[in-house]
Amino acid sequence: MNIRERVASPGESHFDDTLPPLLQRIYGARGVQSQQQLGRQLAELPSPSLLKGMDSALSLLEIAIKKQHKILIVGDFDADGATSTVLGVLALQAMGFQSVDFLVPNRFEYGYGLTPEIVELALTRNPDLLITVDNGISSIDGVAAARAAGMKVIVTDHHLPGSQLPAADAIVNPNQPGCTFPSKNLAGVGVIFFLLTALRSHLRELGWFASSGRAEPNMATWLDLVALGTVADVVPLDRINRVLVHQGLQRLRAGVCRPGIQALLDLAGRDHTRLVASDLGFAVGPRLNAAGRLDDMTHGILCLLEDDPQIARQLATELDQLNMDRRVIEADMQREALTIVERLNLDQQALPWGLCLYDADWHQGVVGLLASRIKDRFHRPVIAFGQDGNGNLKGSARSIPGLHIRDTLDAIAARHPGLVSKFGGHAMAAGLSLPRESYADFAAAFEEEVRRQLSPEALEEEILIDGVLPHTDICLDNAHCLREAGPWGQQFPEPLFRGEFIVLEQRVLGGKHLKFTLGSDHHNDLEVDGIAFNVADKWSVASPQRVEVLYRLDVNAWRGRETPQLLIERILFLG
């Protein structure tokens, strides 16, 4: 493990005195060089017209609303897909589309995306127009089948395209060739948000709202959904995504959100008035994702669509139970995966650089989480496989910095034609399918390709920190300042500091968390709480005197009182 301090990139910074020096240093180390880059107002978002394919999509939607065509939204089975679907249904209905329905493939029966089988199922709804959200860019055969059946197709997606694009009537995806939209990091829900925002403006210019006597909807109404989908999909929080997430969080804090989101927050024990982005990622997202992982994301979508708070609470409770079931399944799979890795070491073999893991009994809806956990533990690219029931394997891949996992799969497919049935994804996460009998060959090809692309140094985990925070700066004001300075997330990480402290007290909470009271040699007034979650069985040391920790400075609210608190990520007992 290599710990390195973040430093500002070369170039002149333009911050004024209204920004505290601590934040100037932190922002500079994240590539921000002026306060203008920190703007979080909706007016600072780029025009949706910059998205390639927008004009074609708007033309199709204009015809659809004038003729009141039946629209079917085809979503995906994760939180991004669910929020995209709900946003599409609610906004289109609010604009005056009278027949809007949705369909989400059951991952265990149909797999991912707009497949020909899903098109057959869609035909039973008799739609005139299909709109994909958070999928479709790789659905060559599905789009062809839909158009052959007489449907128009609009693909909205954010995944990376392959060498061939589907022959859709319109494609809106910032990652398609020739798109000049200034961000390539939108989540699926961000893409459909920009499309619907453009549609509202287009209908206004046509006089649609005035002539139909319908109130023009405020797109900001649904920014809670946009924030949730963006954070849960772990896309990079570039400036555009930070604006979307910040604005969504502001509405959530004000209690202006879908009843289903509020119910999920309540079940997770989160106070909506104090929400930060990580609450969406660690509390709401997993509960929503549990439906798609273990059952059918339709349950999650219905929860988010529901207007009645009591019914939404019932649906959220079902999602909460599914999430508890998911945790049990995932814990069992982790133990089994670690046993497999231990066997590799027992055989005196070096751990592969690209690690493939498979068990016939692993739940295919949970292999992505498993891959992520093993990747974090061993710091190398991991693909975990489960069976789909038809003799094929479904894999979920997670990568480390320096290896673009979707491009890696593309390289394997090019070098070994027919080895991979299909694949798709992002730089850090991807999915794939292959025949069961091809597993050993694929594992070898994956190892070969990873070794071709990575150096041994890349397999050493690197932790970037924001230096040492003077003990005099560990205070409630700075904790509030850092909490509100985000939103923090992927590629815009929450500040992490290193510090050495005297241990005044140590105790175990809930049988698994370590709680500390820490002090300072040089600042007698310092007495601050620190907590390390889920580590009591690994980190506990009898009567430690001094510790060095990596921590995040946060605000602890308890019984109406706020105090600064260190959220401890790593700890070294010094004596």
Domain topology for 464-573: OB fold (Dihydrolipoamide Acetyltransferase, E2P) (2.40.50)
CA 141 to chain centre: 27
DSSP strands (E only) in 170-268: 170-172
Q: Which two tokens stand for residue 44?
A: 């600072």
**What is the C-alpha to C-alpha distance for residues 105 and 100, in angstroms, rounded to an integer?**
17
> Is residue 348's pLDDT more than 50?
no
Mean pLDDT across the chain, nearest whole number? Answer: 94
Residue 500 and residue 547 in contact, taking contact as beta carbons nearer than 8 Å: yes
Q: CA of 482: how far to CAs of 125, 177, 487, 574, in Å?
A: 50, 38, 10, 28
* CATH (residue range 45-318): 3.90.1640.30
Eight-state DSSP code of residue 222: G
Residues 521-535 pLDDT 10s:
877 789 999 999 988
Query: What's the CA gap between 439 and 451, in Å, rounded?
Result: 18
Supply φ then ψ for residue 545, to 5 degrees: -100, -40
For residue range 447-464, what is the model confidence (pLDDT) as tens digits? Answer: 999 999 999 999 999 999
Architecture of domain 350-459: Roll (3.10)
| Predicted confidence band of residue 73 (pLDDT cuts 50, 70, 90) | very high
Asked if 158 and 174 count as a contact pair (C-beta separation under 8 A), the reply is yes
pLDDT of amino acid 76: 92
Q: What is the CA radius of gyration of the chain?
A: 25
Closest by CA position to 395, among listed 409, 412, 383: 383
Q: Per-residue pLDDT for 575 more than 80?
A: no
Q: What is the pLDDT of residue 566?
A: 98
Phi-psi region of 367 (alpha: psi -120 to 50; beta: other; left: phi over 0): alpha
Least confident of 388-397, 429-438, 467-476, 550-559: 388-397
Domain boundaries, given as residue ranges, for the chain: 45-318, 350-459, 464-573
Q: How far apart are CA 503 and CA 520, in angstroms?
A: 9
10 Å Cβ neighbour count for 73? Answer: 26
Check pLDDT > 90 for residue 106.
no
- Enter the pTM of the model: 0.93
Read off the pLDDT of residues 502-520 as tens digits, 9 standing for 90 and up: 999 999 888 889 999 999 9
